[in-house]
Amino acid sequence: MNSLYVDIAATDGGSFKVYLTSSDAENAPGLVLMQYICGVNAVMRSLAVDFAAKGYLVAVPDLFWRQEPGIELLNDPSKPNQQEQARALELNEGFNDEAAISDLQSTITYLRGHENCSGQVGALGYCLGGRTAYLVATRTDADCSVGYYGVNIDHYLAEADNISNPLMLHIAANDELCEPEARERIVRTLKKLSPVTLHEYEGAGHAFALVGGHNYNEAAAAAANERSYEFLAHHLA
């Protein structure tokens, strides 16, 4: 497995770092992994390696670079740290969706042009990255996208009709960061759209797929991950 950091130019000036990893397979589909609110930390790098082992050319962009480049928080989810959690929440509050989606489109374009990429590129994200997965579907040319327990997707439901490529969302039925009314609006709006696949996980809370996290739900995580693997394999073939 080969991993390195590369720099990608931002459309509004400056550049951001991307953790890039692959198994050196030729003609591999590209996958943009989108972070929790803790930056490109050990969790995200480990996930990138896992997906690379499945044959993807994986890019994990630093979406917090405009606030604090290279920030890594809560590298071990089983060891809570109140100071780091507070900083993560601050970074989340200062997050600019529009700028992030521009960076994500730049990352998608970078992968499409990579010598080892097939030209097909998908995106997958968790929490904050779950929301950007939805926005990737409404605003970019990614071939497909997957979101886990995205936060505040309901703020952007007016964009739903822009979705033309496949989108899969994993919804935690007991997500403490998504009010039941918001969850109902999301499901009601998106279930009518043919490119969208929704899966709801009863008894699962926010970040149910985060291994070591306090809400980790092994059964829900296994089901969601298997569905994601099949979805990506089908749409990025």
Question: Residue 185: which CATH number?
Answer: 3.40.50.1820
pLDDT in tens, the chain (237 residues): 899 999 999 999 999 999 999 988 889 999 999 999 999 999 999 999 999 999 999 999 999 999 999 999 999 999 999 999 999 999 999 999 999 999 999 999 999 999 999 999 999 999 999 999 999 999 999 999 999 999 999 999 999 999 999 999 999 999 999 999 999 999 999 999 999 999 999 999 999 999 999 999 999 999 999 999 999 999 998
Instruction: Name the residue range of residue 150's domain.
Output: 2-235
Catalytic residue (one of 97, 206, 234, 235): 206
Write out the E strands in the chain: 2-9, 15-22, 28-34, 57-61, 117-126, 144-148, 167-172, 196-201
Catalytic residue (one of 62, 103, 175, 235): 175
Is 175 known to be catalytic?
Answer: yes
Q: How many domains, the chain?
A: 1
Is 76 known to be catalytic?
Answer: no
Q: Which letter, b or e, does each residue of 152-181 get, where b requires 16 or more Cβ atoms within 10 Å of its Cβ?
A: ebbebbeebeebebbbbbbbbebbeebeee
